Structure formats: structure tokens, C-alpha cells
């Protein structure tokens, strides 16, 4: 083998150089492909004209408009008016709802998503049939499939009935 290499070393070097040139040509040919986008010049002034109406419009609340403007807040009192207004607002008491995160497979984000869909009680989930499961499941986005996989209706039945022992026997500790 060594004799073969000694006799034909020039051919091996030539083959190596040719291989390097071909490889360089292939990679260089791939890099030449570039995409250039040409934007028509007529689009640019249109974008500026779009906001011209806002620039030319008078201020929403000016001193000449005759509107009653709130008095200037003295230094050191900033935010006091907002705090008083917040204290004067009536407090909205939410209706009681179950802690849906007690169901295995429902975390805080999913519980909020269910609340947004109007699902706030274990009894609602316990009463789901296949059609209702499919309807709700389609609205869960990336959480789709969790209802059947984690068996939410059965968990909700046990939790709504207060059967803690039955729940923990089947689904683990609460």
C-alpha cells in the first residue's frame, strides 16, 4: 500500500485539489442566491400622507375648547386623585366558584381560560357529555386533548360530591 502511494502521490494530490475546488464551487454557488426587494417610490409618500390627518388635527383637549380641564396636581400629590377615585369605586364581588386547579391537568393558565369560557364549577365539568367535551376541547388551543387524557369529568364528579377518599384513591393526593 505504501509503495502504491509513493508511486502515485502526484495523482492523489491532484485529486484532493480538484475535490476542494469542486466543494468550494458548490458552496459558493449556493451563497450567490440573494433576494432583493424593490419598493415602488409611490408607496413611501402614501405612508406619510396616512398620518397627515393626525398631524393637522387640533389637540383633543385644548385650553380654547371650553372644556373643563382638571387642575394641575401639586408636586408631591401625584396619584392621590387616582387613589381616592379607586377607593370610591364599588367593589365587585365575584360569585363563588370552585378552585378548578384542584383537577389534575388544570393549571392557572388553563383555569383562567376555562373561566373566560364561563366554566367556574366542578358540576359544570362533571355534566359534560362527548359533544360538550369536543366543543370545549376545540377552544383550548395548545391544551387540546387534556380533557379526555386527564379524565376531567370524573375528577370533577368526585370533587363536586366531596369524595376526597375516592378521588385520592383514583387520581392521587390532592
**What is the C-alpha separation between 121 and 105, in angstroms, rounded?**
16
- Three-class DSSP category at 4: helix
pLDDT recorded at residue 126: 93
Report pLDDT for 93: 46
DSSP 73: P
Provide the terminal-to-terminal Cα distance of the chain, rounded to the nearest Å.
74
For the record, the C-alpha cell of 53 comes out as 390627518
Q: pTM for this one? A: 0.45
Would you kindly state where each structural domain of the chain is located, as residue ranges?
Answer: 100-171
Residues in the chain: 174
Q: How confident is the model at residue 20, as a pLDDT?
A: 96
pLDDT of residue 62: 55
The values of phi and psi at residue 3, to 5°, are -65, -40
**pLDDT tens, the chain, 174 aa long:** 888 888 899 999 999 999 999 998 888 777 765 667 776 655 555 555 666 666 676 766 555 555 566 666 666 655 566 666 666 665 544 457 889 999 999 999 999 999 999 999 999 999 999 999 999 999 988 889 999 999 999 999 999 999 999 999 998 888
Angstrom distances, CA of residue 149 to CA of 45, 103, 112, 169: 56, 12, 20, 18
Cα(103)–Cα(154) distance, integer angstroms = 10
Amino acid at each position: 500500500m505504501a509503495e502504491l502511494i509513493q508511486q502515485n502521490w502526484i495523482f492523489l494530490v491532484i485529486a484532493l485539489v480538484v475535490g476542494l475546488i469542486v466543494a468550494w464551487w458548490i458552496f459558493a454557488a449556493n451563497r450567490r442566491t440573494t433576494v432583493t426587494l424593490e419598493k415602488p417610490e409611490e408607496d413611501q409618500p402614501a405612508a406619510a400622507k396616512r398620518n397627515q390627518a393626525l398631524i393637522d388635527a387640533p389637540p383633543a383637549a385644548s385650553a380654547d375648547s371650553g372644556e373643563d380641564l382638571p387642575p394641575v396636581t401639586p408636586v408631591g400629590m401625584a396619584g392621590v386623585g387616582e387613589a381616592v377615585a379607586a377607593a370610591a369605586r364599588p367593589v365587585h364581588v365575584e360569585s363563588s366558584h370552585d378552585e378548578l386547579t384542584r383537577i389534575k391537568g388544570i393549571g392557572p393558565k388553563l383555569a383562567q381560560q376555562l373561566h373566560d369560557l364561563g366554566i367556574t364549577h366542578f358540576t359544570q365539568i362533571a355534566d359534560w357529555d362527548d359533544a360538550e367535551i369536543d366543543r370545549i376541547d376545540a377552544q383550548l388551543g395548545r391544551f387540546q386533548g387534556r380533557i379526555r387524557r386527564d379524565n376531567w369529568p370524573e375528577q370533577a364528579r368526585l370533587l363536586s360530591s366531596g369524595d376526597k377518599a375516592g378521588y385520592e384513591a383514583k387520581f392521587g393526593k390532592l
